[in-house]
Amino acid sequence: MNAPLATALARPTLRSRAPGLLLAVAIALLAWWLGRLMPLIGGPVIGILLGIAVRNTVSPNARFTPGIAFAGKQVLQWSIIALGFGLSLTQVAKTGLESLSVTLVTLTVAFLSAWALGRWLGVHDKLKILIGVGTAICGGSAIAAVTPIIKPDEHDTAFAISTIFLFNVVAVLLFPLLGHLLHLSDLGFGLWAGTAINDTSSVVAAGYSFSHAAGDYATIVKLTRATLIIPICLILAFAVAAREKKKGATDFSLRRIFPWFILWFLVASALRTAGLIPAAIQPVLHAAAEFLIIVALTAIGLSANLRKMIASGPRPILLGLGVWAAVSVSSLAVQLLIGQL
Protein backbone atom coordinates (compact mmCIF):
# COMPACT_ATOMS: atom_id res chain seq x y z
CA MET A 1 0.00 0.00 0.00
CA ASN A 2 1.47 3.40 -0.95
CA ALA A 3 2.00 6.14 1.64
CA PRO A 4 -0.73 8.57 0.48
CA LEU A 5 -3.36 5.81 0.45
CA ALA A 6 -2.30 4.62 3.90
CA THR A 7 -2.52 8.20 5.20
CA ALA A 8 -6.00 8.65 3.72
CA LEU A 9 -7.23 5.43 5.30
CA ALA A 10 -5.74 6.39 8.67
CA ARG A 11 -7.27 9.89 8.61
CA PRO A 12 -10.34 10.15 10.87
CA THR A 13 -13.64 10.53 9.02
CA LEU A 14 -16.88 12.18 10.09
CA ARG A 15 -18.31 8.73 10.72
CA SER A 16 -15.41 7.74 12.98
CA ARG A 17 -15.62 11.04 14.84
CA ALA A 18 -19.40 10.95 15.33
CA PRO A 19 -19.58 8.81 18.54
CA GLY A 20 -17.07 10.89 20.51
CA LEU A 21 -18.35 14.21 19.16
CA LEU A 22 -21.96 13.33 19.99
CA LEU A 23 -20.93 12.25 23.48
CA ALA A 24 -19.13 15.56 24.06
CA VAL A 25 -22.11 17.56 22.74
CA ALA A 26 -24.61 15.60 24.86
CA ILE A 27 -22.61 16.18 28.06
CA ALA A 28 -22.06 19.82 27.07
CA LEU A 29 -25.81 20.36 26.73
CA LEU A 30 -26.28 19.09 30.28
CA ALA A 31 -23.38 21.29 31.46
CA TRP A 32 -24.88 24.32 29.69
CA TRP A 33 -28.25 23.75 31.38
CA LEU A 34 -26.67 23.26 34.81
CA GLY A 35 -24.52 26.33 34.22
CA ARG A 36 -27.67 28.42 33.71
CA LEU A 37 -28.92 27.17 37.08
CA MET A 38 -25.55 27.78 38.77
CA PRO A 39 -24.03 30.86 37.04
CA LEU A 40 -21.34 31.34 39.69
CA ILE A 41 -19.85 28.03 38.60
CA GLY A 42 -20.75 28.22 34.92
CA GLY A 43 -21.13 25.76 32.08
CA PRO A 44 -17.40 25.43 31.21
CA VAL A 45 -16.48 24.36 34.76
CA ILE A 46 -19.38 21.92 34.93
CA GLY A 47 -18.55 20.60 31.46
CA ILE A 48 -14.96 19.73 32.27
CA LEU A 49 -15.96 18.23 35.63
CA LEU A 50 -18.67 16.07 34.00
CA GLY A 51 -16.19 15.03 31.31
CA ILE A 52 -13.65 14.00 33.93
CA ALA A 53 -16.35 12.10 35.84
CA VAL A 54 -17.45 10.15 32.75
CA ARG A 55 -13.87 9.47 31.64
CA ASN A 56 -12.91 8.03 35.01
CA THR A 57 -16.07 6.03 35.75
CA VAL A 58 -17.61 4.77 32.51
CA SER A 59 -14.33 5.16 30.55
CA PRO A 60 -15.53 5.39 26.91
CA ASN A 61 -13.80 2.87 24.64
CA ALA A 62 -11.50 3.55 21.68
CA ARG A 63 -14.28 4.24 19.16
CA PHE A 64 -15.02 7.50 20.99
CA THR A 65 -11.41 8.72 20.84
CA PRO A 66 -11.36 10.37 17.35
CA GLY A 67 -14.45 12.48 18.06
CA ILE A 68 -13.29 13.47 21.54
CA ALA A 69 -9.91 14.51 20.14
CA PHE A 70 -11.63 16.51 17.38
CA ALA A 71 -13.85 18.32 19.88
CA GLY A 72 -10.93 19.06 22.19
CA LYS A 73 -8.82 20.60 19.39
CA GLN A 74 -10.81 21.76 16.33
CA VAL A 75 -13.98 22.77 18.17
CA LEU A 76 -11.79 24.47 20.74
CA GLN A 77 -10.21 26.61 18.01
CA TRP A 78 -13.62 27.39 16.50
CA SER A 79 -14.76 28.65 19.91
CA ILE A 80 -11.85 31.10 20.08
CA ILE A 81 -12.67 32.41 16.58
CA ALA A 82 -16.35 32.80 17.52
CA LEU A 83 -15.36 34.87 20.55
CA GLY A 84 -13.83 37.40 18.15
CA PHE A 85 -17.28 38.34 16.86
CA GLY A 86 -18.12 39.67 20.34
CA LEU A 87 -15.01 41.84 20.73
CA SER A 88 -15.09 45.29 19.16
CA LEU A 89 -11.59 46.75 19.05
CA THR A 90 -12.83 50.34 18.95
CA GLN A 91 -15.13 49.75 21.91
CA VAL A 92 -12.26 48.85 24.21
CA ALA A 93 -9.56 51.19 22.85
CA LYS A 94 -9.95 54.07 25.35
CA THR A 95 -10.37 51.92 28.44
CA GLY A 96 -7.72 49.55 27.15
CA LEU A 97 -5.13 52.32 26.97
CA GLU A 98 -6.08 53.52 30.46
CA SER A 99 -5.67 50.04 31.93
CA LEU A 100 -2.68 48.96 29.82
CA SER A 101 0.00 49.82 32.38
CA VAL A 102 -1.69 47.78 35.11
CA THR A 103 -2.42 44.94 32.68
CA LEU A 104 1.19 44.73 31.47
CA VAL A 105 2.52 44.68 35.05
CA THR A 106 0.12 41.92 36.12
CA LEU A 107 0.95 39.97 32.95
CA THR A 108 4.67 40.18 33.71
CA VAL A 109 4.12 39.26 37.37
CA ALA A 110 2.01 36.26 36.37
CA PHE A 111 4.66 34.78 34.08
CA LEU A 112 7.61 35.54 36.39
CA SER A 113 5.84 34.11 39.44
CA ALA A 114 4.69 31.05 37.46
CA TRP A 115 8.27 30.42 36.33
CA ALA A 116 9.90 31.02 39.74
CA LEU A 117 7.27 29.35 41.92
CA GLY A 118 6.80 26.52 39.43
CA ARG A 119 10.53 25.85 39.42
CA TRP A 120 10.62 25.87 43.22
CA LEU A 121 7.64 23.50 43.42
CA GLY A 122 9.01 21.22 40.71
CA VAL A 123 6.10 21.72 38.27
CA HIS A 124 7.06 20.87 34.68
CA ASP A 125 7.29 23.55 31.97
CA LYS A 126 4.07 22.96 30.00
CA LEU A 127 1.88 22.99 33.10
CA LYS A 128 3.65 26.15 34.29
CA ILE A 129 2.87 27.81 30.96
CA LEU A 130 -0.79 26.75 31.07
CA ILE A 131 -1.34 28.03 34.61
CA GLY A 132 0.66 31.20 33.94
CA VAL A 133 -1.26 32.01 30.74
CA GLY A 134 -4.61 31.17 32.32
CA THR A 135 -3.94 33.44 35.29
CA ALA A 136 -2.35 36.23 33.29
CA ILE A 137 -4.88 36.61 30.50
CA CYS A 138 -8.30 35.00 30.40
CA GLY A 139 -8.54 31.69 32.22
CA GLY A 140 -9.82 28.70 30.29
CA SER A 141 -10.00 30.59 26.98
CA ALA A 142 -6.28 31.42 27.15
CA ILE A 143 -5.41 27.86 28.10
CA ALA A 144 -7.55 26.68 25.20
CA ALA A 145 -5.74 29.05 22.82
CA VAL A 146 -2.19 27.95 23.70
CA THR A 147 -2.96 24.23 23.93
CA PRO A 148 -2.66 23.58 20.15
CA ILE A 149 0.71 25.37 20.18
CA ILE A 150 2.57 23.77 23.09
CA LYS A 151 0.63 20.46 22.88
CA PRO A 152 0.50 19.43 26.56
CA ASP A 153 -0.92 16.13 27.80
CA GLU A 154 -4.73 16.16 28.09
CA HIS A 155 -4.64 15.71 31.86
CA ASP A 156 -2.30 18.74 32.17
CA THR A 157 -4.80 20.88 30.25
CA ALA A 158 -7.67 19.61 32.39
CA PHE A 159 -5.69 20.16 35.59
CA ALA A 160 -4.75 23.72 34.60
CA ILE A 161 -8.32 24.64 33.64
CA SER A 162 -9.73 23.09 36.82
CA THR A 163 -7.17 24.97 38.92
CA ILE A 164 -7.91 28.29 37.22
CA PHE A 165 -11.68 27.89 37.52
CA LEU A 166 -11.34 26.97 41.21
CA PHE A 167 -9.84 30.38 41.88
CA ASN A 168 -12.43 32.03 39.61
CA VAL A 169 -15.19 30.81 41.91
CA VAL A 170 -13.26 31.97 44.97
CA ALA A 171 -12.69 35.39 43.37
CA VAL A 172 -16.39 35.93 42.63
CA LEU A 173 -17.19 35.40 46.30
CA LEU A 174 -14.14 37.12 47.82
CA PHE A 175 -13.33 40.14 45.63
CA PRO A 176 -16.49 42.23 46.21
CA LEU A 177 -16.14 41.74 49.98
CA LEU A 178 -12.47 42.75 49.91
CA GLY A 179 -13.26 45.68 47.62
CA HIS A 180 -15.71 47.13 50.13
CA LEU A 181 -13.35 46.48 53.05
CA LEU A 182 -10.56 48.32 51.17
CA HIS A 183 -13.01 51.15 50.27
CA LEU A 184 -12.16 50.90 46.57
CA SER A 185 -13.85 53.24 44.12
CA ASP A 186 -16.02 51.83 41.34
CA LEU A 187 -13.28 52.36 38.77
CA GLY A 188 -10.60 51.10 41.15
CA PHE A 189 -12.49 47.88 41.82
CA GLY A 190 -13.35 47.48 38.13
CA LEU A 191 -9.69 47.76 37.19
CA TRP A 192 -8.70 45.33 39.96
CA ALA A 193 -11.31 42.76 38.98
CA GLY A 194 -10.60 43.17 35.26
CA THR A 195 -6.85 42.60 35.69
CA ALA A 196 -6.76 40.06 38.52
CA ILE A 197 -9.70 37.68 37.95
CA ASN A 198 -9.10 35.09 35.27
CA ASP A 199 -12.31 34.20 33.42
CA THR A 200 -14.54 36.79 31.74
CA SER A 201 -17.75 35.46 33.30
CA SER A 202 -16.19 35.66 36.77
CA VAL A 203 -14.98 39.23 36.11
CA VAL A 204 -18.51 40.24 35.09
CA ALA A 205 -20.07 38.51 38.10
CA ALA A 206 -17.66 40.08 40.60
CA GLY A 207 -17.77 43.52 38.96
CA TYR A 208 -21.56 43.85 38.95
CA SER A 209 -21.73 42.43 42.46
CA PHE A 210 -19.74 45.48 43.56
CA SER A 211 -21.64 48.08 41.49
CA HIS A 212 -23.01 48.64 38.00
CA ALA A 213 -20.25 51.13 37.15
CA ALA A 214 -17.58 48.74 38.40
CA GLY A 215 -19.10 45.96 36.30
CA ASP A 216 -19.06 48.05 33.12
CA TYR A 217 -15.45 49.10 33.65
CA ALA A 218 -14.25 45.63 34.65
CA THR A 219 -15.82 44.06 31.56
CA ILE A 220 -14.05 46.42 29.15
CA VAL A 221 -10.72 46.01 30.96
CA LYS A 222 -11.12 42.25 30.76
CA LEU A 223 -11.91 42.31 27.04
CA THR A 224 -8.79 44.40 26.42
CA ARG A 225 -6.73 42.01 28.50
CA ALA A 226 -8.10 39.09 26.48
CA THR A 227 -6.61 40.50 23.25
CA LEU A 228 -3.13 39.96 24.69
CA ILE A 229 -3.58 36.26 23.98
CA ILE A 230 -2.68 37.08 20.37
CA PRO A 231 0.93 38.24 20.95
CA ILE A 232 1.39 35.56 23.62
CA CYS A 233 0.34 32.84 21.17
CA LEU A 234 2.68 34.23 18.52
CA ILE A 235 5.60 34.35 20.97
CA LEU A 236 4.94 30.76 22.04
CA ALA A 237 4.65 29.65 18.40
CA PHE A 238 8.04 31.16 17.53
CA ALA A 239 9.56 29.68 20.70
CA VAL A 240 8.30 26.22 19.74
CA ALA A 241 9.66 26.78 16.23
CA ALA A 242 13.10 27.66 17.57
CA ARG A 243 13.13 24.63 19.85
CA GLU A 244 12.14 22.25 17.07
CA LYS A 245 14.83 23.62 14.76
CA LYS A 246 17.39 23.28 17.54
CA LYS A 247 16.44 19.64 17.89
CA GLY A 248 17.09 19.21 14.18
CA ALA A 249 13.53 18.30 13.27
CA THR A 250 13.37 17.72 9.51
CA ASP A 251 9.60 17.74 9.15
CA PHE A 252 9.05 20.97 11.07
CA SER A 253 7.46 24.01 9.43
CA LEU A 254 6.42 27.29 11.00
CA ARG A 255 3.41 27.37 8.69
CA ARG A 256 2.17 24.12 10.22
CA ILE A 257 2.58 25.28 13.84
CA PHE A 258 1.42 28.88 13.33
CA PRO A 259 -1.82 29.48 15.29
CA TRP A 260 -3.98 30.35 12.27
CA PHE A 261 -7.12 30.38 14.41
CA ILE A 262 -5.77 33.52 16.11
CA LEU A 263 -5.58 35.19 12.69
CA TRP A 264 -9.21 34.25 12.06
CA PHE A 265 -10.03 35.56 15.54
CA LEU A 266 -8.62 38.94 14.40
CA VAL A 267 -10.68 38.78 11.21
CA ALA A 268 -13.84 38.10 13.23
CA SER A 269 -13.07 40.99 15.57
CA ALA A 270 -12.35 43.30 12.63
CA LEU A 271 -15.72 42.41 11.08
CA ARG A 272 -17.44 43.28 14.36
CA THR A 273 -15.48 46.54 14.61
CA ALA A 274 -16.38 47.51 11.02
CA GLY A 275 -20.08 47.01 11.78
CA LEU A 276 -20.42 44.15 9.31
CA ILE A 277 -21.96 41.83 11.90
CA PRO A 278 -25.70 42.65 12.26
CA ALA A 279 -26.68 43.46 15.83
CA ALA A 280 -29.53 40.95 15.64
CA ILE A 281 -27.19 37.97 15.26
CA GLN A 282 -24.52 39.06 17.75
CA PRO A 283 -26.28 37.42 20.73
CA VAL A 284 -26.56 34.21 18.69
CA LEU A 285 -22.85 34.28 17.87
CA HIS A 286 -22.00 34.94 21.52
CA ALA A 287 -24.18 32.04 22.66
CA ALA A 288 -22.61 29.79 20.00
CA ALA A 289 -19.11 30.74 21.17
CA GLU A 290 -20.02 29.95 24.78
CA PHE A 291 -21.48 26.58 23.84
CA LEU A 292 -18.50 25.64 21.65
CA ILE A 293 -16.21 26.39 24.60
CA ILE A 294 -18.31 24.10 26.80
CA VAL A 295 -18.13 21.33 24.16
CA ALA A 296 -14.35 21.72 23.83
CA LEU A 297 -13.71 21.77 27.57
CA THR A 298 -16.04 18.79 28.05
CA ALA A 299 -13.94 16.90 25.51
CA ILE A 300 -10.78 17.85 27.36
CA GLY A 301 -12.38 16.47 30.51
CA LEU A 302 -13.24 13.27 28.64
CA SER A 303 -9.55 12.97 27.73
CA ALA A 304 -8.29 13.53 31.26
CA ASN A 305 -6.86 10.70 33.31
CA LEU A 306 -7.83 11.46 36.90
CA ARG A 307 -5.26 9.06 38.28
CA LYS A 308 -2.48 11.00 36.57
CA MET A 309 -3.95 14.27 37.83
CA ILE A 310 -4.01 12.96 41.41
CA ALA A 311 -0.49 11.66 40.98
CA SER A 312 0.58 15.24 40.18
CA GLY A 313 -0.11 16.10 43.83
CA PRO A 314 -0.98 19.50 45.33
CA ARG A 315 1.90 21.37 43.67
CA PRO A 316 -0.02 22.63 40.59
CA ILE A 317 -2.81 23.96 42.85
CA LEU A 318 -0.24 25.70 45.04
CA LEU A 319 1.29 27.15 41.88
CA GLY A 320 -2.10 28.47 40.75
CA LEU A 321 -2.75 29.97 44.19
CA GLY A 322 0.66 31.64 44.32
CA VAL A 323 0.40 33.15 40.83
CA TRP A 324 -3.15 34.36 41.43
CA ALA A 325 -2.14 36.01 44.74
CA ALA A 326 0.86 37.69 43.10
CA VAL A 327 -1.31 39.08 40.28
CA SER A 328 -4.00 40.33 42.68
CA VAL A 329 -1.51 42.14 44.93
CA SER A 330 0.48 43.61 42.03
CA SER A 331 -2.69 45.04 40.45
CA LEU A 332 -3.57 46.92 43.64
CA ALA A 333 0.05 48.01 44.13
CA VAL A 334 0.32 49.54 40.66
CA GLN A 335 -3.01 51.35 41.06
CA LEU A 336 -1.78 52.75 44.37
CA LEU A 337 1.48 53.96 42.82
CA ILE A 338 -0.19 55.70 39.88
CA GLY A 339 -2.99 57.13 42.02
CA GLN A 340 -5.91 55.27 40.44
CA LEU A 341 -7.33 53.78 43.64
- The SS3 of residue 73 is helix
Question: How many beta carbons lie within 10 A of that of residue 126, not counting itself?
Answer: 17
Please check whether residue 167 is in contact with residue 179, taking contact to mean a CB–CB distance below 8 angstroms.
no
Q: Is the pLDDT of residue 8 over 60?
A: no
DSSP string, 6-33: HHHHHS--HHHHHHHHHHHHHHHHHHHH
State how far the Cα of 259 lies from the Cα of 234, in Å rounded to an integer. 7
H helix or E strand, kind and range, residue 275:
none
Integer angstrom CA distances of residue 137 from 19, 70, 100, 106, 194? 34, 25, 13, 9, 10
Query: pTM higher than 0.85 for the full model?
Result: no
State how far the Cα of 301 lies from the Cα of 308, in Å rounded to an integer. 13
**Residue 295's Cα: distance from chain center in Å?**
14
85: CB partners within 8 A, 6+ apart: 268, 269, 271, 272, 277, 282, 285, 286, 289
Q: Quote the percentage of the chain above a pLDDT of 90.
A: 6
pLDDT in tens, 302-315: 877 667 666 667 88
pLDDT in tens, 198-237: 876 678 778 877 887 888 788 778 777 777 777 787 788 7
Region 268-273 average pLDDT: 82
Residue 18 vs residue 233, higher pLDDT: 18
Lowest average pLDDT, out of 15-24, 195-204, 289-298, goes to 195-204
Integer angstrom CA distances of residue 339 from 225, 258, 307, 333? 21, 41, 48, 10
Region 265-293 average pLDDT: 82
Q: Return the axis-axis angle of helices 154-181 and 43-55, rounded to nearest 10°.
A: 140
- Using the 8-state DSSP alphabet, how is residue 281 labeled? G
